[in-house]
Amino acid sequence: MNPDVRAQLERLQADRARHRREQAEALARERAALAHEQAKREVFRLAVGPVQALRAQGRAETPPRPIEPVPRQRMADEAQALASSLSDELDVTTLLDTDAGLSFRREGIGPDVLSRLRRGQWSIQRHLDLHGLTREAAREALAAFIRQAERDGLRCVRVVHGKGNGSPGREPVLKAKVRAWLVQKTEVIAFTQASASDGGHGALLVLLRAR
């Protein structure tokens, strides 16, 4: 792998690890605050000792303020979203095969896999159309799509990024971005340009790792 690309990947992984540590530290602080509040109440109870309830005076009782719950699920969701975030800064040109389709295969995947992918050995099980989406929306949609497809046990999917016919200068805005994003998804082991019947140079066939 090109040293510059490897360095970019390592920086990206370091950023993700740092964000995960920050999430974990925030959760630890919230847990510590909750434990401290509970400890104060226990100290008060022990200091006051047994108490006897007053006779009812017909007064309205104000319910105690509930303890703020620790948002574990939200924090877990944010951590997962962060872990699956995709960078726009990664230069993947040296990772792509220099063929007409600028295909990609992960280290350890033989060139025959790309040949079989082009020949349709794996049937397309699901597809994602990114037409009309902004870059940010397309990035989020692609990350969620790949993650769900891998969870569902799919092997081959199609991603339509467009041919750029409606873009300024007739250049496909998402074409290079989609390739860069897919390289960063560990679920993806290879991809290549789709056949003419499946979208041609406006789409990619993506092979996912086996579960």
Quick check: 105 and 111 in contact, CB under 8 A? yes
| Distance of alpha carbon 169 from alpha carbon 163, whole angstroms | 12
Q: Which residues of the chain have pLDDT under 50?
A: 79, 82-83, 94, 98
The three-class DSSP label of residue 192 is strand
Per 3-state DSSP, what percentage of the chain is helix, strand, and coil (rounded to 5)?
A: 50, 10, 40
pLDDT at 98: 47
Q: Could you report the per-residue pLDDT of 1-45, keeping only the tens digit for each? A: 566 667 777 777 787 788 788 888 888 888 888 888 887 877 777
Q: Is this model's pTM higher than 0.85 or not?
A: no
Under DSSP, the state recorded for 134 is -
